[in-house]
Structure 1
Amino acid sequence: MKREIKSVALEDIKLSYEVYGDGNTVILCFHGNGRSADDFKFLEKNTRKIISVHLFLHGYSTFSPHRIHQDLITAEHVEKLLEKLLLKEKVKDFHWVAYSQGGRFTLSAFPSFASRVKSMFLIAPDGMNDNNFYSWSQRQWWTRKLFKRWVEKPEELMSISRVLAKGKIIHPKHVSFLDYYTSDPEKFETAYKTWSAFRDLRPSNEEVRKTLDKHSIQFKVIVGEHDQIITPKSARNFLDKIDQSNALKTIPYGHDIFKPHIEKELLALMPFEDFD
């Protein structure tokens, strides 16, 4: 299927995206940290138009380096850029799919686009809890300084994480997750930059709840039963807060779900044409 890479801009910010197909069913996709827009190629079908966004600091989406520490990316930036994208692509309404960190972007911008959203499927989404350690640590100057140090000395972070795992303070899978990033210096640096630059993207559970109450949208949160990064428990807590306790769907996997045999299960959980 034909692939096109396009972009929209706002000030110094460029948001790039890929388009697959030209069908009537439009699906907007946001990938996760360290992943790519290609993750959603498995959704391709003759009747669909897939718009897969490159998250900032991934692919071709860029902004001025100073935004990593100040003048941070906000929901307002994301909303204005998405409005430009939808206008450029002549999109009236669409389905929304997001994975991991892409979920933080989606939940932050969703209230502004809800009247145009037919369905929303969040796969192991970040952004469900603004009070967890990940979100809290983003906002502390000293933790940002510490993580910057670990970008330069990843072996120090791995040594500490192994000790914490041995003492059963963190799960061993967290060590594997950290090892995945620290083993690749470029990937680890990107993870640090996104962690710092996106800390003002803070979805409001109350706004999400009110928006879902107001609009008739097919909504699901899909989480791996063995996911130690975005756990089923965190998803249940989030869904209870937004009065969507029946929206949870679990699959028997971990956090890394973009594999052929798992993609088939995801497709079964996302029947887009049923809502057109």
Structure 2
Amino acid sequence: MNDGDAESFFNSCKCGDLSQVKELITKKPELIKETHPEDGNTPLHVACIDADQKREIIELLLAHKADPNVPNNDGNTPLCVLCDCGTTDLKIIDLLLSAGADINVSNSKEGYTPLMFATQKYKNYDVVHYLVGAGASPHPKSHMGDTALHLACRVNDENTIWLLIEEDANPNEKNNAGNTPFHELCKGGNTKAFEILMDANADPNLTNEDGKTPLDIAKAHQQSHLVAWLRNHEFGRSLSVPLQVRRKRQNNNNNHSSGVVMMVGMVAVAVAAAVSYYFKFKRDK
């Protein structure tokens, strides 16, 4: 980038000046391929920062063949930048994907995919749901060994946790520190999120590289309400029973209760019949 037009083009994409972007792109179409010397961002990267007010600019850049898969110096593509900046505009995501953006690309800095960037944002369910529906995988791991489920548990987003579990995310996957998503949740989660992991057969007895269980983590982070909840639910014992076994036991209990009720009913009918026969016998005499 060695001229004033290029600098103006980047500034216009950053500030959302659509008319200036149109003017410059008509004057010098090659500006689309410029990269900033400081961070390696293209104009499309810049437009994807705080993008919700710049949809028309992004659409214009893509219409002029801006490449959605060019990485910047951190290895982030425009889709990574978009998800990292917390967009809520699903149409912009669709524009990038329709232009050929790789939905499962990982950056070079953290090893994050667009889905990982989205899941680390609290209450970002709609974006996560859209990405998953478009083919984003919950299984890739970052350079630290985190999956998208680790990140969702870290920000205590129960809706996203549920969604990732529905997409077969592994609740017992360990990161480089040996922490499972359960460990991450115990740093400050809520009991509803615990129940989601419990029903997905998360193992509460797994230890991390320091030999700590999720309960140990809850204690270390002074999460007294979580410690109490875990103890009340016999954490480390009953919760380690697989979900299907717990359901079978529950069904057996229900069946047993139904059998008892049916037996009592039969006895009551028999007693009523005996009483009726007794009085009929007395009348006949």
TM-score between both structures, scaled by the size of structure 1: 0.29
**Which protein, 1 or 2, shows the higher relative CO under an 8 Å CA cutoff with sep ≥ 6?**
1
Structure holding more strand per residue: 1
Higher-Rg structure is 2
Normalized per residue, the structure richer in helix is 2
TM-score by length of 2: 0.28
